[in-house]
């Protein structure tokens, strides 16, 4: 075999190997994207289902509802070992058969290899009041001795002092979500 032929064989082999590798990574990326997408949809759906039993009128406490939703989605996401950005935006609400049906837009980002995408899901859930037999549900957040923010359990701001408080109570007392542990919550 001549020298030039040997060279062209090497080049061809390199091209073939590159193409195979590209195809392989492409497939892997697509699979991962589908996997995360499905997991996120489950997380949002589970959170939305839980929100269905919250018995407070929408118009009264949008702040509480949104923060609860955010906490619930993030718990679900953590349970599924996915690290994503979840952002919740309030969309609209309407009354159906005396129930207030709320539509929320939930956006999330994910990044795998070279894939970066932003997905949006609309989440309907209904609220009512105690007369409908709905029970009120809240969530525990944490405050510090002197701070004016409330935190999620793992936040580094809680290394010096950490007192559990009901989210509803924290909001009523004027505490605001910490920017570190609630970085993707829409600011008021």
Q: Which residues bind Zn ion (CB under 5 A)?
A: 151, 155, 157, 178, 180-181
- Whole-number minimum distance, CB 71 to Zn ion, in Å? 12
Contact status, residue 91 vs residue 107, Cβ threshold 8 Å: no
If the CB atoms of residues 126 and 157 are measured against Zn ion, the closer one turns out to be: 157
Q: Is 53 helix (H, G, I), strand (E, B) or coil?
A: coil
If the CB atoms of residues 57 and 164 are measured against Zn ion, the closer one turns out to be: 164
If the CB atoms of residues 66 and 151 are measured against Zn ion, the closer one turns out to be: 151
**What CA–CA distance (Å, rounded) separates 68 from 61?**
11
- Whole-number minimum distance, CB 79 to Zn ion, in Å? 20
- Whole-number minimum distance, CB 149 to Zn ion, in Å? 6
If the CB atoms of residues 65 and 143 are measured against Zn ion, the closer one turns out to be: 143
- Whole-number minimum distance, CB 153 to Zn ion, in Å? 10
- What is the distance, to the nearest Å, from the Cα of residue 121 to the centroid of all Cα atoms in its chain? 11
- Whole-number minimum distance, CB 64 to Zn ion, in Å? 18
**What CA–CA distance (Å, rounded) separates 137 from 55?**
7
If the CB atoms of residues 65 and 181 are measured against Zn ion, the closer one turns out to be: 181
């Amino acid at each position: 075999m001549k020298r030039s032929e040997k060279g062209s064989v090497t080049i061809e082999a390199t091209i073939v190997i590159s193409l195979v590798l590209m195809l392989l990574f492409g497939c892997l990326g697509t699979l991962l994207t589908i996997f995360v997408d499905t997991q996120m949809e489950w997380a949002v759906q589970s959170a939305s289902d839980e929100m269905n039993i919250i018995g407070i009128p929408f118009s009264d406490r949008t702040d509480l509802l949104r923060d609860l939703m955010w906490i619930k989605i993030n718990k679900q996401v953590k349970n599924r070992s996915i690290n994503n950005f979840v952002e919740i935006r309030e969309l609209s609400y309407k009354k159906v058969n005396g129930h207030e049906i709320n539509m929320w837009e939930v956006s999330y980002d994910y990044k795998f290899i070279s894939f970066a995408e932003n997905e949006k899901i609309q989440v309907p859930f209904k609220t009512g009041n105690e007369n409908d037999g709905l029970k009120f549900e809240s969530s525990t957040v944490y405050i510090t001795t002197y701070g004016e923010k409330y935190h999620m359990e793992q936040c580094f701001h809680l290394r010096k002092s950490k007192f559990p408080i009901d989210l509803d109570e924290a909001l009523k007392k004027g505490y605001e979500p910490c920017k570190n542990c609630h970085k993707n919550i829409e600011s008021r």
